Amino acid sequence: MWIDYAARQALSSVGAFVRAPRLKFAANASSLSFPQEGDTVVSLTTHGDRMSASVASIASLLMGTELLPVFLWLDRVDFESEWPEGLRGLVDRGLQVRCSDGAFGPHTKYFGTFAQFAGTDTRVITVDDDMMYPRWFAQKLLNASDADPGLIVAYRAHEITFRGDQLDLYRRWKAVYTTAPSHRHFATGVSGVAYPPSMVEYVARQGTGFIGHAPKADDVWLNACALRSNHMVRQVFPHPREFSIVPGSQRTALVRGNLGGGGNDVQIAATYTHEDVARLLRAD
């Protein structure tokens, strides 16, 4: 899985080096702006040196065919620091920056937004701060979500596999090649995921329960919550989609650590209970 991911990203790297500077320029020069309210919002986080990379990522959403409110959550140390010029330009174009209530690591991507919008019938799309999304990103994701409003919809998912009656190693899970929903489909946040209001509310009620189980793996916690709250996952397309990485980001090293280094397996084992695994075994 790791080798395939790295190879696909290498193929798209040339286009990424061309697109990234244009997006950073658009952050300051565009006449477009993000809406401030809506029944669907986008949520992400960034930190430290990654704040500069996030400019291209957020600007790619500004260039989209469907503009949505975007919330960027920062830990206090970053919120009170000097922001990159491009990020300030995006604030002028409607980006809403919020200070996190705590240091939640990757969970900061969704935690504050889920808490804010729980119970308001708001759908939340999560994205990563080092990916450049295509112009049709939000539009096609919303179309798929509207077709199945009770499901979690992702551009990229894995099929959870087993060794006997136990979960197999994460790196052996299979790519999903269908739009059919399943509890065995594991949404990966890197390419973007849309969560229905009922999932937003359920996760918000769990508070910071992830800290003792999957503190560095938001995908693991969110997919476990999906299973326990009876939300199935489906892909937008019959095949997974992966978008370009912002050049200079640390995505490759992070994927190697969580995947090749076994970081996901440790947190999966700490999160999924015997009851969770039994339910997955019974699922189609």
Total H helices, total E strands in the chain: 11, 14
Distance, in Å, from the CA atom of 46 to the CA atom of 68, rounded to the nearest integer, reads 19
pLDDT of residue 145: 98
3-state SS class at 50? helix
Whether 53 contacts 246, CB under 8 Å:
yes
Of 18-27, 64-73, 242-251, 269-278, minimum mean pLDDT range: 18-27
Farthest-apart Cα atoms in the chain, separation: 56
Whether 197 contacts 120, CB under 8 Å:
yes
User: Mean of the pLDDT values across residues 206-220?
Assistant: 97
Of 45-49, 104-108, 148-152, 246-250, minimum mean pLDDT range: 246-250
pLDDT tens digits, 235-269 = 999 999 999 999 877 654 455 555 555 789 999 99
Of 41-50, 176-185, 256-265, minimum mean pLDDT range: 256-265
DSSP designation for 259: I
Residue 124: name the closest of 246, 38, 247 by CA: 38
Distance, in Å, from the CA atom of 41 to the CA atom of 112, rounded to the nearest integer, reads 12
pLDDT of residue 11: 46
φ/ψ of 222, rounded to 5, equals -65, -40
Mean model confidence pLDDT for the chain? 90
- Domains in the chain: ranges and CATH: 2-282 (3.90.550.10)
Whether 184 contacts 98, CB under 8 Å:
no
pLDDT of residue 133: 96
pLDDT > 80? residue 1 = no
Take residue 189 and report the two structure tokens written for it. 């946040």
Distance, in Å, from the CA atom of 249 to the CA atom of 131, rounded to the nearest integer, reads 9
Residue 189: name the closest of 214, 152, 162, 161 by CA: 152
Whether 85 contacts 153, CB under 8 Å:
no
The larger pLDDT score, comparing residue 88 to residue 6, is at 88
Name the percent of the chain lying above pLDDT 90: 81
Q: Which amino acid is at 182?
A: S
Take residue 254 and report the two structure tokens written for it. 């992070």
Take residue 255 and report the two structure tokens written for it. 């994927």
pLDDT of residue 231: 98
Q: Which helix (H) or strand (E) holds 223?
A: helix 218-228
Take residue 80 and report the two structure tokens written for it. 């009170």
Q: Look up tokens 């704040």; give the residue.
A: 51
pLDDT of residue 225: 98
pLDDT of residue 30: 72
Angle, helix 218-228 to helix 197-205, in steps of 10 degrees: 110
User: Mean of the pLDDT values across residues 271-275?
Assistant: 98
